[in-house]
Chains A and B, each alone.
Chain A
Amino acid sequence: MTIDQGTAGTAPPSLIPTHTMALVGSLLRGPVTAEITAKEAQRYAQAVGDLNPVYFDEAAARAAGHGGLVAPPTFVPYALVQGRPIEETRTDGLFQGEIPLDLAVQRTMFGGEEWDFLLPVLVGDRITAETRLAALDQKEGSKGPFVRITRETTYRNQAGDVVARTRQIGIAR
C-alpha cells in the first residue's frame, strides 16, 4: 500500500458524504475511565514480548526513576477496552461499530499511529480517554482513491494531567 498525495487532474468521486464530513471534530467515544492494573499491563507486555523490568519489578521501576510499576507506553488504549458479548461481533470477528463512519468504501485497515507520551502511566492510575474524529482526508494512492481517517485520543490521569495523546490512522478504500 502506497500512501500518496492526490495529484491534480480530473477530480475523483468523493468517498466522504457531506454528513460524514460534518462529524470532523466531534466526540466519537468517551469519556471512558479505567484503572491501570499490573495484571493487564503485564499480560500485554508478555504478549508483545517486552519483558522490561520496569513493567514487572517495582524496585526496578523505582531505580529507573518512576514512582512505581510502569505500564508499557502503548498499552493504555487496551486498559480502556470495554468487553462486549460475542453476539455483537461481525463476520470478520470485529465488534459492530459503535458509531460507524458512513464512507463509500469496502474496508478499513490500520495505517499507523502517532503518539505523544507526556507522562509515564503507572499501575494504579485511573485513566480517562476521549476520542475525537480529528480529520477525514481523501487521497489518491497507487490502488485508487482512499480515505485517511484520523482519530485522536487524549488520555488523562486522576489528577487531570494529560499523560498521552495518540492519532490513529485508518486507511479506508
Chain B
Amino acid sequence: MTPAEQVGAGQPFIEDVAVGQELPVAVRNASRVQLFLYSAATWNPHRIHYDVDYARFEGHPDVIVHGPLQGAWLSQYVTDWAGPRGRILGLSWQNRASALPELDYEFRGRVTAVDGDVVSLEVWEQTPEGAVLMPGQATVRLPARI
C-alpha cells in the first residue's frame, strides 16, 4: 500500500465512540539521541537536556526529557487515535514533574464526552511506576460513517 492508500485504515467514526471508552495504550521511551535531535529541531540550547553534569548541578538525577516533547507525544497519541480524517481541535496538559530518558512512559486515555461530532478525551502520560506524570485533555472532531 502507498501512504495515501493507508489513509483510512483504522479510521474511527463518531458513531462508534462512547463515553467511557478507553484508548489503546502507547509507550514512549526517549533515547539520549532523540533528546539531542529534539533540541536541535527546536533550536533549544538548554543544557539540562544533553549535559548530565549540568543537569545534576540543577538538581536533576540525569538529563531530562523536554516538557514540550512530551506534549508533542500527547498530541501524536491523540492524532494517531483520531485517524487521518479526524481533526484535533484542542489539547492541554500539565507537566507535573520531569521525565527521564531510557524509561518507558505509557500514554493512556478515555472518552469523557461526545457532543455532535466532537469527542472530549481525558489523556495522560504515566511513569513506569504508574503515577500520572502529565495529565491532559483533548477535543477531537471525528468523521461520520455516513
User: B-contacting residues of A (Cβ < 8 Å)?
Assistant: 1-3, 40, 43-44, 46-50, 52-54, 56-57, 59-60, 62-65, 72-74, 78, 81, 83, 89, 92-95, 107, 109-117, 120, 169
Within 8 Å by CB of A112, from B54, B73, B94, lies B94
Check A60–B38 contact: CB distance below 8 A: no
Given A57-B4, A113-B93; A50-B72 close (CB under 8 Å): yes
Tell me if B19 is interfacial: C-beta within 8 Å of chain A: no
Check A52–B90 contact: CB distance below 8 A: no
1/0 contact string of B77-99 vs chain A (CB within 8 Å): 00110001101111111111100
The size bracket of the interface on B is: 35 or more
Check B84–A48 contact: CB distance below 8 A: no
Q: How far is the CA of A114 from the CA of B97 in the complex (A)?
A: 17
- With both beta carbons as reference points, the residue of chain B lying nearest to A75 in the complex is identified as B72
Check B67–A112 contact: CB distance below 8 A: yes
Residues of the A chain whose Cβ atoms lie less than 8 Å from the Cβ of B42: 44, 47, 78, 81
Tell me if B71 is interfacial: C-beta within 8 Å of chain A: yes
Check A72–B2 contact: CB distance below 8 A: no
Tell me if B76 is interfacial: C-beta within 8 Å of chain A: yes
Within 8 Å by CB of B72, from A63, A72, A109, A120, lies A72
Residues of the B chain whose Cβ atoms lie less than 8 Å from the Cβ of A49: 28, 34, 73, 76
CB B10 to nearest CB in A, in angstroms, measures 13
Within 8 Å by CB of A72, from B37, B40, B43, B75, lies B75
Given A47-B37, A120-B87; A74-B68 close (CB under 8 Å): yes
Residues of the B chain whose Cβ atoms lie less than 8 Å from the Cβ of A65: 84-85
Check A1–B38 contact: CB distance below 8 A: no
Given A63-B4, A72-B72, A93-B51; A115-B94 close (CB under 8 Å): no
10 A-B pairs closest in CB distance:
A64-B84, A53-B3, A110-B67, A93-B47, A59-B4, A114-B92, A112-B94, A47-B41, A60-B3, A57-B3
Q: How far is the CA of A47 from the CA of B44 in the complex (A)?
A: 13
Check B93–A112 contact: CB distance below 8 A: yes
Tell me if B130 is interfacial: C-beta within 8 Å of chain A: no
Residues of the A chain whose Cβ atoms lie less than 8 Å from the Cβ of B95: 109-112
Tell me if B7 is interfacial: C-beta within 8 Å of chain A: yes
1/0 contact string of B18-31 vs chain A (CB within 8 Å): 00000000001000
Q: How far is the CA of A110 from the CA of B98 in the complex (A)?
A: 10
Check A60–B73 contact: CB distance below 8 A: no
Within 8 Å by CB of B7, from A46, A63, A78, lies A63
CB A150 to nearest CB in B, in angstroms, measures 12
